[in-house]
Amino acid sequence: MTTTKEIGIKPEDHLTGVTSWERYTRRVTPYLLISPFYVIFFIFQLLPIAFSLYLSFVDWNGMSAIKFTGLENFTTMFQDAKFWNSLRVSLIITVVCTVLGTAGAVLLAVLLEKVEDRLANVLRVIFFLPSVTSVVVITYIWKQLYSTDYGYFNALLSKVGLPPQDWLSDPKLAMVALLVMLIWAGLGWDALIVTTGLRAIPDDLYDSGKVDGTNDWTEFRYITLPLLRPTLLFVLVTGVIFLWGIFAQPNLLTGGGPLRATQSVAMYLYQQAFTYHKFGYASAIAVILSIIMFISSYLNFRFIRYETE
């Protein structure tokens, strides 16, 4: 049975002369206060998502009349060799950066925990700086480092008697150059997240392990790593979502070249939408990319949760 307290009416309201309008205002006011968030979310999130899903089934260049084409955009996409190439590039970026980046972040965080506190804090700040630096600035610096004529890496190669390399002009080297930059740029952020997970592990467990005669490896294998899994889940899921949708870094570093060797799905989507004005086709790519992100995140969540259980 519904009580007066549950509907916002105090038992003494009939004694204090509270009107029905005041009772109504009391019930409605909390919803009015939180409504701006839902209005903004509806306008700038749900509506664009719904419109993009609708556009994936039509042919539209932004100016002409919208023409319903059914599944034609998806059929064209699955037969498009350039789309599959961009999907392969994004898959390589996601897998390599996720595996190596996460492993590097765990290693860095564990090593910094063994360093003296003041020095460790300074090192954390240094490693974290790329995370708060503009993507444009970071990419410009790495572009200069990779320069064929006056880049620092080629200068090092010349000092050891090796020929200079076309880091950004060779299709094979361009992908390696991009991967190195991405892993470096994300290492500090991931290491900081892992550090919070490390500090949440009770010291008593390590003390008990030392009593049992564990070494550094067994301590990490049987204490640190199992208790880090919730933290690693966060790092993996956020990293996978970011890397599948990566756009700015490859666009600024290589422009997707050479020969589309570094063109991600997001870059191909952007090209179809804003260069060729194929908004329907681009929306179909966006739908498939969203599904891939969801499946990848779900698999990460299921795997980590299963291992934790």
Residue 167 belongs to domain with CATH number: 1.10.3720.10
Query: Cα–Cα distances in Å, from 70 out to 53, 73, 74, 272?
Result: 12, 8, 9, 18
Do residue 86 and residue 228 come from a single domain? Answer: yes
Do residue 119 and residue 229 come from a single domain? Answer: yes
Q: Is residue 61 part of a domain?
A: no
Do residue 144 and residue 17 come from a single domain? Answer: no
Do residue 163 and residue 92 come from a single domain? Answer: yes
Question: Do 300 and 252 touch, CB atoms closer than 8 A?
Answer: no
Do residue 206 and residue 295 come from a single domain? Answer: yes
Measured in degrees and rounded to the nearest 5, phi and psi for residue 59 equal -115, 120
For 101-117, the DSSP string reads HHHHHHHHHHHHHTS-H
Q: Is residue 234 part of a domain?
A: yes
Q: Is residue 169 part of a domain?
A: yes
Do residue 191 and residue 49 come from a single domain? Answer: no
Measured in degrees and rounded to the nearest 5, phi and psi for residue 278 equal -100, 75
Q: Report residue 142 as tokens.
A: 């790495």
Note the pTM of the prediction, 2 decimals.
Answer: 0.86
**Given this model, what pLDDT does residue 120 score?**
86
Helical pair 171-199 and 225-244, crossing angle rounded to 10 deg: 140
Domain range spanning residue 135? 74-308
Please report, to the nearest 10 degrees, the dihedral formed by the alpha carbons of residues 190, 196, 199, 200 taken in order. -120
Q: Is residue 228 part of a domain?
A: yes
Q: Is residue 104 part of a domain?
A: yes
The domain total for the chain is 2
Do residue 126 and residue 191 come from a single domain? Answer: yes
Q: Is residue 118 part of a domain?
A: yes
Which residues, other chains included, contact 88 with Cβ-Cβ below 8 Å and sequence gap of 6+?
Answer: none
Rounded Cα–Cα distance for residues 272 and 285 (Å): 9
Do residue 143 and residue 235 come from a single domain? Answer: yes
| pLDDT by residue, tens only, the chain of 309 residues | 445 454 454 554 554 556 788 888 888 888 899 999 999 999 999 999 999 999 999 999 989 899 999 999 999 999 999 999 999 999 999 999 999 999 999 999 999 988 888 888 898 889 999 989 999 999 999 999 999 888 899 999 999 988 999 999 998 899 999 999 999 999 999 999 999 999 888 888 888 888 877 788 888 888 888 889 889 989 999 999 999 999 999 999 999 989 999 999 999 999 999 999 999 999 999 999 999 999 988 888 777 665 555
Do residue 130 and residue 35 come from a single domain? Answer: no
Do residue 212 and residue 84 come from a single domain? Answer: yes
Tracing tokens 């870094």 back to the chain, one arrives at 249
Do residue 253 and residue 114 come from a single domain? Answer: yes
